[in-house]
A and B are shown apart, each in its own frame.
Chain A
Amino acid sequence: MPLGTLDRTAPPLFNQGPSALSKLILFSAVALFLMVADARFKVVQPIRTVVGAVLYPVQWVAMQPVLLVRGGARYVEDLQSAQRIEADARKELAMQAQRASQADTLVRENARLRSLLELRQTTQTPSRAAEVLFDAADPYTRKVVIDQGANHGILAGSPVIDERGVLGQVTQVLPFTSEVTLVIDRDLSIPVQNTRTGVRTVAFGDVDARGGGLELRYMTSHADLQTGDVLATSGVDGVYPAGLPVARIDNIERRADTAFARVHGVPFAAVTAARYVLVLAPVGDPVPQAYPGVAGAAAPAADGAGKKKADAAKKGEAAAKDAGAGGGAKEGAKGPAKEPARSAAAGPGAKPPARAAKPAETRPGGQR
Chain B
Amino acid sequence: MIMRPGQQQLLLPVNPVFIWGSLLVAMVIDMLPLGRTGWMPDVLALVIVFWGVHQPARIGIGAAFVFGLCMDVQQSALLGQHALSYITLSYFAITIHRRLLWYPVLSQAVQLLPLFALSQLIELGIRMAGGGLFPGWTMALAPVLQSVLWPLATALLLAPQRRAPEPDANRPL
Interface residues of A (CB under 8 A from B): 1-2, 4-8, 11-12, 16, 20-21, 23-24, 27-28, 30-35, 37-39, 44, 47-48, 51-52, 55, 58-59, 61-63, 65-66, 133-143, 145, 172, 174, 179, 186-187, 207-208, 363, 366-368
Contacts and interface: CB of A to CB of B under 8 A. Distances in A.
B27 interface: yes
Contacts of A136: 36, 75-76
Given A139-B38, A179-B76, A367 B166 contact: no
Q: Which 10 A-B pairs have the closest CB atoms?
A: A134-B33, A140-B132, A139-B135, A34-B80, A7-B13, A62-B31, A31-B80, A35-B80, A31-B84, A38-B79
Contacts of A59: 31, 74
Given A7-B1, A11-B57, A62-B32, A186 B80 contact: no
Nearest to A23: B61
Given A66-B33, A138-B75, A24 B87 contact: yes
B172 interface: no
Contacts, number: 158
B142 to A, nearest CB: 10
Contacts of B146: none
B33 A44 contact: no
Interface stretch (B100-108, B109-117, B122-130): B122-130
B60 A20 contact: yes
Interface of B: 1, 10, 12-14, 24, 27-29, 31-38, 40, 57, 60-62, 64-65, 68-70, 73-81, 83-84, 87-88, 91, 94-95, 126-127, 129-133, 135-136, 139, 165-166
A27 B36 contact: no
A187 B65 CA distance: 28
A365 to B, nearest CB: 10
